[in-house]
Amino acid sequence: MANRLAIPIAELALPRACAVCDARPAKLFKLRITQNIDLLFARHERWYTLPVPLCLSCHKRRIWISIAGWSLVVVAFLALAFGGLVLAIDYDSPFAAVAYGLLFCLALFGRLGLDDLLTWQAVGLHGVLLRGSPPRARLAVRRVDLFNKLRASSPNARPA
Ligand SMILES: [Zn+2]
């Protein structure tokens, strides 16, 4: 479950502890908080980079989750591409169209949502820049105690 907070960018700062496990931080992960219009091949984007402290173990875990997630998508992509080709050429099967439909959906997911999903799995944070002035972000925070700390540290933060 996610707790969402609308918070001015100027007040957005995470505590100096690992954002996942509260241990002593060793690395900073740059979380991109974006506002974008994504048209698949053209993208208009504004973003703010939030430094997220991570301990060494959570930093390594984040990298492995990212590698595993992308590897899985690439393997599935190749399997669908090859399977679709075999179905179309060798068997003249209508299931080739299904394979290529799935391939298209997978490519779309890889392009638009995979990084966010993997970051959410690894770090438990996701941010979107909100329109308006002053600049604000809507931040989803998995850890309830971190959510409460952020809410307490920012006078203008509101649940969103
Ligand atoms: Zn940690």
Cβ neighbors of 22 (< 8 A, separation 6 or more) are none
Q: Distance, CA 21 to ligand 1 centroid (Å)?
A: 4
Q: Distance, CA 28 to ligand 1 centroid (Å)?
A: 11
Summarize pLDDT for 52-103 with one digit per residue, the tens. 999 999 999 999 999 999 999 999 999 988 888 888 888 888 888 888 889 8
Cα distances from 137 to residues 76, 112, 159, in angstroms, run 34, 19, 11
Domain locations along the chain: 3-14+23-159
Q: Distance, CA 17 to ligand 1 centroid (Å)?
A: 8
Summarize pLDDT for 17-59 with one digit per residue, the tens. 999 999 999 999 999 998 876 666 666 677 889 999 999 999 9
pTM, rounded to two decimals:
0.80
Q: Distance, CA 27 to ligand 1 centroid (Å)?
A: 10
- Looking at residue 2, its pLDDT comes to 67
State both tokens at 37: 């219009």
